[in-house]
Amino acid sequence: MKISEKLDKLRELMKNNNLSMYYIPTDDYHMSEYVGDYFKSRVFMSGFTGSAGVLLVTLDNAYLWTDGRYFLQAAKQLEGSTINLMKIGEEGVPTVLEFISNYSGKKNLGFDGRTVSASFGEALEKISGISLNPNLDLVDMIWTDRPTLSCEPAYELDYEFSGQERRDKLAMIQDNLVKKNANVTYISSLDDIMWTLNLRGNDVTCNPVVLSYLAVYQDKAILYVNSKALNPTIKANLSKDRIIIRDYNQVYSDIEANSGDVIILDKAKSNYKILTSIAKTNRIIFESNITTLAKACKNKTEVENFRKAHIRDAVAMIKFMYWLKTNVGKIDMSELSVTEYLYNLRKTGKNFKDISFSTIAGFGEHGAIVHYSATEETNAKIVPGNLLLVDSGAHYLEGTTDITRTFALGDVTCDMKHDFTLVLKGYLALSDLIFKEGVNGQTLDLAAREALWREGKDFNHGTGHGVGYLLNVHEGPQNIKYNRESHTFLPGMITSDEPGLYIAGKYGIRHESLILCKEYKKTEFGNFYCFEPITLVPFDLDGIDKSLLTSEEKAKLNAYHKRVYDVISPLLTEKEAKFLKKYTKEI
């Protein structure tokens, strides 16, 4: 069925339900960034496969909003669909809320309230003249071969990896309830639930989570889950920690039945149906899940394990770099074949579980598509004379990795080297920054962009995101972007440092490592923090214009490369170690 035909069927259903607009977000029932196949309604209805975007269908038009990471991809995938691309943040482009608010016709809006955040639902309620029907999954009536809800087996994360027992994490949440004079908190975000219960699963591709909800009371907890995902041992261990297991879909009726409670709820991470299921006889305290910050500040065990995971991952990446640089132009290579080669290197590593997101391998002009994903139709051959951008990562029992390296293959142009070096300057500035307690990501971002901004250049995505421990590769509450709110940085937070530059139709460049926030020194002026790069993979010296680097920047790069060589070379073959010596030499 063509996209236009799906939209026509949707409009028929809209008319039958007296709707003038229908809203289809990217989210699942848990406000996850990446979702399982069952929840890909927006992909099904639009053909746009990016991880971020919303679709609004009216009786005579359709509109898709997405951010700068996906402008090029969305433009291509929406061709012939009759859907208008709305570029978030561009001049003259309204937000979806502004569009709905200013819509000239009737504002009768339908959506599935389980896939819309409570905060967004409240914002919709405030629009003048609007009528909401939040209990309609119209896409389900069109999607005849819709996949079933995932129910993959769960597994427990042992103490040697988590560094904190499940009962202690629950006690922390319950202490917070007592302090706030609250009876219960409902947690919907899958990463928060998995972290709290020391569980992992496989219900979302590349995200080791189990579809579930968690209600924590002062004296017990209830896990709403498909019990088939839990083996007898897990069930027994949960029971020991006073955790009751109930059916996944029972959460709404249980919430409706509660009366007179004081409830803590994270509006940004809970869906609208949960909010509207809470009876008026209850009182709600709106605040972030207490688990979110605790999860972001890794404990000592997690930090040490992260370092182990990144050493293991660096071995795979450097073996890949050696193979790539040695064989390009000599054997057939393509975006898909190098992706497979890198995956095969990683999966041999100890305690490897999965990749942490779909690998981005963009050669030449494809590198300028920020979240490009090669297909059989787009699969470009890799030959000398351009840049290859590889953004990839993995999950190990010891932690999660996320790394981007841009490789100069053969003779590349002066412009490519110039831009490669500008981005590297930004990376080095941020990774080596010293900053005072209380600083957030909006302030830190300036360091990574300053070199680009001096030349009137920029990149249209965040500079950094938090990373989970064998969880979501994108994790809050911290981030690094000048125009986005961020939590202040604290020791134990692991965040990406990933400035980039993308020249449409030519090439893309991104340099990314994960950096650990840790204490630097305490003086009479306060506490000061710094970053430690925990990714240990060299930057391609063949892409650098040395004349653009200051002596201080060269010293930073040389020190990093020395550390890479000292730690990783003993784990490589003789030929690979010799190669690494060449690509970590002082400049």
Please list, in sequence order, all residues whose beta carbon lies within 8 angstroms of the beta carbon of residue 362, skipping any fewer than 6 positions away: 335, 368, 369, 372, 374, 388, 389, 508
Question: Could you give the 3-state DSSP secondary structure of residue 404?
Answer: strand
Query: Based on the domain organization, do 346 and 366 belong to the same domain?
Result: yes
Q: Of 263, 294, 325, which one is at a domain's C-terminal end? A: 294
**Domain containing 130: what range?**
3-142
Q: Note whether 573 and 320 are within 8 A (CB).
A: no
Q: Of 142, 163, 179, which one is at a domain's C-terminal end? A: 142
pLDDT average, residue stretch 41-58: 94
Q: What is the pLDDT of residues 86-145, one digit of tens each?
A: 999 899 999 999 999 999 888 999 999 999 999 999 999 999 999 999 999 999 999 999
Query: Based on the domain organization, do 196 and 326 belong to the same domain?
Result: no
What is the predicted pLDDT for the residue at 204? 92
Query: Based on the domain organization, do 545 and 410 belong to the same domain?
Result: yes
Give the H/E segment covering residue 109.
strand 107-110
Grade residue 333 by pLDDT with cuts at 50, 70 and 90: very high
What is the predicted pLDDT for the residue at 304? 98
Separation of alpha carbons 43 and 332, rounded Å: 33
Query: Based on the domain organization, do 290 and 311 belong to the same domain?
Result: no
Grade residue 483 by pLDDT with cuts at 50, 70 and 90: confident
CATH number of the domain bearing residue 243: 3.40.350.10
Q: Answer whether residue 60 shows pLDDT above 80.
A: yes
What is the predicted pLDDT for the residue at 242? 95
Tell me whether residue 149 is in a domain.
no
Tell me whether residue 505 is in a domain.
yes
Query: Based on the domain organization, do 363 and 216 belong to the same domain?
Result: no
Tell me whether residue 570 is in a domain.
no
What is the predicted pLDDT for the residue at 389? 98
Query: Based on the domain organization, do 178 and 52 belong to the same domain?
Result: no
**How distant is the alpha carbon of residue 320 from its chain centre?**
24
Tell me whether residue 79 is in a domain.
yes
Query: Based on the domain organization, do 288 and 317 belong to the same domain?
Result: no
Q: Answer whether residue 69 shows pLDDT above 80.
A: no
Tell me whether residue 565 is in a domain.
no
Separation of alpha carbons 108 and 18, rounded Å: 7
What is the predicted pLDDT for the residue at 1? 86
Q: What is the pLDDT of residues 183-208, one digit of tens each?
A: 999 999 999 999 999 999 999 989 99
Query: Based on the domain organization, do 229 and 306 belong to the same domain?
Result: no
Q: Note whether 459 and 499 are within 8 A (CB).
A: yes
Query: Based on the domain organization, do 8 and 76 belong to the same domain?
Result: yes
Q: Of 262, 294, 326, which one is at a domain's C-terminal end? A: 294
Q: What is the pLDDT of residues 152-181, one digit of tens each?
A: 999 999 999 999 999 999 999 999 999 999
Question: Could you give the 3-state DSSP secondary structure of residue 434?
Answer: strand
21-24 and 107-110 as β-strands: parallel, antiparallel, unpaired?
Answer: parallel
The DSSP 8-state label assigned to residue 117 in this structure reads: B
Query: Based on the domain organization, do 313 and 447 belong to the same domain?
Result: yes
What is the predicted pLDDT for the residue at 72? 83
Helix, strand, coil % over all residues of the chain, rounded to 5? 40, 25, 35
Query: Based on the domain organization, do 284 and 311 belong to the same domain?
Result: no
Query: Based on the domain organization, do 126 and 179 belong to the same domain?
Result: no
Q: What is the pLDDT of residues 412-456, one digit of tens each?
A: 999 999 999 999 999 999 999 999 999 999 999 999 999 999 999
Grade residue 373 by pLDDT with cuts at 50, 70 and 90: confident
Tell me whether residue 568 is in a domain.
no
How many helices (H) and strands (E) are present in the chain, helices listed first? 19, 28
Separation of alpha carbons 168 and 171, rounded Å: 5
pLDDT average, residue stretch 347-370: 95
Q: What is the pLDDT of residues 237-254, one digit of tens each?
A: 999 999 999 999 999 999
CATH number of the domain bearing residue 440: 3.90.230.10
For 405, other C-beta atoms within 10 Å of its C-beta total 24
Tell me whether residue 571 is in a domain.
no
Domains held by the chain: number? 3
* pTM confidence score: 0.92
